[in-house]
Amino acid sequence: MAQDRIGRYRIVGRLGSGGMAEVYEGFDDQLNRPVAIKGLLAERSSPERRERLRREALSVAALSHPAVAHVYETVTEGDRDWVVMELVAGKSLAEVIVGGALAATEVAHIGEQVARALAAAHQIGIIHRDIKAENVMVAEDGHVRVLDFGLAKWTRPVAPAAGKLTADGVVVGTARAMSPEQAMGRHLDNRTDIFSLGSLLYELAVGCSPFRTATPLETMYKVARVDFVPLRRAAPQLPKALVNVIETCMKRDPADRFASADALADALHAITHPVNGRAPARRPPRWLPLEQWVRRFWWVPLILGLVALAFTLAKR
């Protein structure tokens, strides 16, 4: 990029780019803080995509949650639009799991934070629609930030975001991160995000996506059928409680999933924070060593019995 400033922000360097957008690290000299600046690639800009970027800014600005990266402002320069947001120092979950599957407690802890962020979004009528490892950052302090509300769907009438950008039956999103109803272009509600989060937790617990195949079309077919290796086989070391939570999220019928993101978050919290009054693990009974001794030396009582019988007969 030729320019060295966007609005009042000084460009420090390029953080990355995707199919539609690019992100720069900037610095706000007035407030003395680093920022992330996201904009559409010049060759991919269109009225619809510019509107999506604007709605992404509106979606995030409407949220006030510690697990959602904050939006500071939007900047328009010529025919290009930019969203200026919090710069999160850390790694995406996609980078984290390159090293392999995460520990069960870490999976549950990350999942709870993401679920709480989704609950806050759902409460104000926003469905994320693209929960995946690339869109969740783990900050240096261990807390997560949910990013990229570019495909967010508003389920309530909101004046600044009125109107639909996606026609009925049109599929948008990342194939491996979709819910079955999303892959088939059906009506979506908050439970689509719950399925996607379940897929993400599976990926963190196993080290690979439950649905990824050679092509997006094949992946969507697997998602639509909910065709994945059960966790008891893919990760037999996982605690049963976490297996149940993840596979409940990934039920094909939305009615069989958690009813809300808050309910999911509570279930994950219970895994990492067991109730104090929980019954302790059962101890072996005091007589177990004797029982084991008898099983091992079963012949001793038999001999003692025969000796007693012989002694009794000898006295007669």
Indicate the domain borders of the chain. Answer: 5-86, 90-272
> To which residue do tokens 């177990």 refer?
288
| CA dist., res. 138 & res. 17, Å (int) | 19
Q: What angle do CA 114, 120, 123 make, to 5 degrees?
A: 135
State mean pLDDT over 68-84. Answer: 90
Length of the chain: 316
Q: Which residue has the higher pLDDT, 24 or 3?
A: 24
β-bridge partners, 11: 26
Query: With 90 as the cut, is the pLDDT of residue 234 above it?
Result: yes
Structure tokens of 78? 């010529």
Query: With 50 as the cut, is the pLDDT of residue 100 above it?
Result: yes
Choice among 4, 79, 130, 256 that is catalytic: 130
Q: What angle do CA 243, 220, 198 make, to 5 degrees?
A: 20
Beta strands in 100-208 (DSSP E): 126-127, 136-139, 144-146, 153-154
CA 232 from chain center: how many Å? Answer: 19
| CA dist., res. 311 & res. 316, Å (int) | 9
Query: With 60 as the cut, is the pLDDT of residue 316 above it?
Result: no
In tens, the pLDDT along 115-148 reads: 999 999 999 999 999 999 999 999 988 899 999 8
Strands 144-146 and 136-139, by their bridges, are antiparallel
CATH architecture group of domain 5-86: 2-Layer Sandwich (3.30)
Q: Looking at the domain 90-272, which fold is it?
A: Transferase(Phosphotransferase); domain 1 (1.10.510)
Q: In this structure, are residues 278 and 125 in contact, taking their beta carbons and an 8 Å threshold?
A: no
**Collapsed DSSP state (helix, strand, coil) of residue 16:** strand
State mean pLDDT over 48-67. Answer: 86
In tens, the pLDDT along 145-179 reads: 999 888 888 887 654 544 554 544 445 678 999 99
State the chain's mean pLDDT as an integer.
85
- Is position 130 annotated as part of the catalytic site? yes
Query: Quick one: pLDDT at residue 307?
Result: 59
Structure tokens of 235? 């990760």
| CA dist., res. 157 & res. 171, Å (int) | 21
| Cα radius of gyration rounded to whole Å, the chain | 28
| CA dist., res. 247 & res. 277, Å (int) | 27
> To which residue do tokens 């892959």 refer?
183
Other C-beta atoms within 10 Å of 311: how many?
9
In tens, the pLDDT along 207-218 reads: 999 998 999 999
